[in-house]
Amino acid sequence: MTGPARLGYAINQWKPNFDDFTRREQHVRALKVIAACGFTGVELRAGTGRWDPLGRPASIAANYGSAAAFTDLLRQIGVEAVCSWYFDPAEPVGEELSPGRSVLEGGQHRAIAESVKPFAEFLAAAGGSRLVVRPLPSAWQTGELSADAIAIAAQGWNQVGAATAGLGVTISLHVDCLSSAADAKTLDALLEATDPALVGLTLDTAELTLAGLDPVAVYQRHRDRVDHVHLKDTRHVDEAGERQRPHAEAAMLLAGGDRGVERWFYECGTPGGLVDFPALLAALRADGYSGWLVFESDQTPNPARSVMLNGWYARHMLPGLSKDLLLS
């Protein structure tokens, strides 16, 4: 028996630096590895500039001839869809002469909504349905957010969701370990203030765990809002609150923080992994989860190895969850 969920892989792990992963043959090799391991979708990550040829629909068209040519190539390789695209509105977009935008400023909502439209159009044509967004800036930058600030952000995401809904693309809030949304009270308030028809929740197992949240508990509390899942593991919890210190992106995530952690994120099933995948997968299975399960392994020293280990995990630990498990 197999369920309706689909299996995808996030391509972000192949591009640890802005000048990595620029050539088409590198993309083809990565996509073949993804397909060989049984994944049928790929999640892209938004980026800017000539060295990010998969960062924007226009960049894909410039490098592959057209969006359709790229999706044709994907399908020839065995990847059926660009299932989702990750987008952080605060990141600069050179093509739009934007230094980055804040969802906490109401005056920038329209520009964010305009900015995501090409992504949604691309996803709709490429078999995807989720624009995975960073819902709030880093906690060390915002401090504790007021109810008014959360309400403004919620309005922004509702507006962005309304801009993509007509294309069949939902905005899905992805809570990473540094985000001010990685706090139960803030997350609950943000979800409460957003329109469930337009805005869903991406459950990222390792990011939540690292931030000190239990992803199973978050799922159980918001199961009706979870419309996308990122599966990865971690061996660490930020018990010292390093995520809230200045420049945590560099000091904690890149440099390893006070403990000198070499690698924050691991493949599912890693020895010493803290995520309770059996409990989460049982809950997803019981609910008949029908979205994408996107495996990730950012910070891996060897992308192919990580895809293969996650492929083994999917094949052996997820029976009954996805029809893709019959295809490989």
Partner 1 sequence: MGNLRWSYMDHWRADTPRGPMTQYGSRRLMDDFVKQISAVGFDGLDMFDFQIYGLTQMFGSIEKYQEYLQDHGISKIVNLFRGIMYDPRVADPHVRETHDEIVESTRQMLGMWEGLQIENLIVMPASLYADTAPVTADKVKAAAECWNRVGEASAGFGVRTTGHHEFFCAIRTEEDILRFYDWTDPRYVSFFCDTAQHCIAGIDPVALYEQLHDRCSGFHFKDTREVDTTGAFANRPDAELMAPQTARWFYEMGTEGGLVDFPRLMRALKEHEFTGWITVEHDKANIGGDYAESTALSMWYAKHVLREIYS
Residues in contact with partner 1 by the rule CB under 8 A: 25, 29, 32-33, 35-38, 77-78, 271, 301-305, 307-313, 315-316, 328
* Closer of 77 and 294 to partner 1 (Cβ): 77
The tokens for 286 are 């019981």
Q: How far is CA 76 from CA 8, 71, 73, 103, 255, in A?
A: 16, 9, 5, 38, 39
Q: Which residue's CB is nearer to partner 1, number 99 or number 320?
A: 320
Quote the least distance from Cβ 274 to partner 1, whole Å: 18
Instruction: Compare residues 124 and 304 and give the one whose CB is closer to partner 1.
Output: 304
- DSSP assignment letter at 133: E
Minimum distance of partner 1 from residue 13's CB (angstroms): 13
Q: Taking the complex as a whole, how short is the minimal distance between the CB of residue 310 and partner 1, in angstroms?
A: 8
Structure tokens at 249: 């992106």
Query: Minimum CB separation from partner 1 for residue 140, in Å?
Result: 30
> To the nearest whole angstrom, how small is the minimum distance from the Cβ of residue 33 to partner 1?
4
Paired with 185 in beta bridges are none
Q: Which is nearer to partner 1, 146 or 302 (CB)?
A: 302
CB of 267 to partner 1, least distance (A): 9
The per-residue DSSP string of 267-310 comes to: -TT-TT----HHHHHHHHHHHT--SEEEE--TT-S-HHHHHHHH
Give the residue with the Cβ less far from partner 1, 32 or 221: 32
Give the list of residues 6+ apart from residue 15 with CB closer than 8 angstroms, or none: 21, 45, 47, 52
Q: Quick check: helix, strand or coil at residue 160?
A: helix
Q: Which is nearer to partner 1, 248 or 294 (CB)?
A: 294
Q: Minimum CB separation from partner 1 for residue 314, in Å? A: 8
- Nearest Cα to 173, choosing from 197, 149, 191? 191
Rounded CA-CA distance 171/78 in Å is 26
Runs of H (alpha helix) within the chain: 24-36, 57-64, 67-77, 109-125, 139-142, 147-165, 184-193, 205-210, 215-221, 248, 277-287, 303-317
Q: Name which of 158 and 306 has its Cβ closer to partner 1.
A: 306
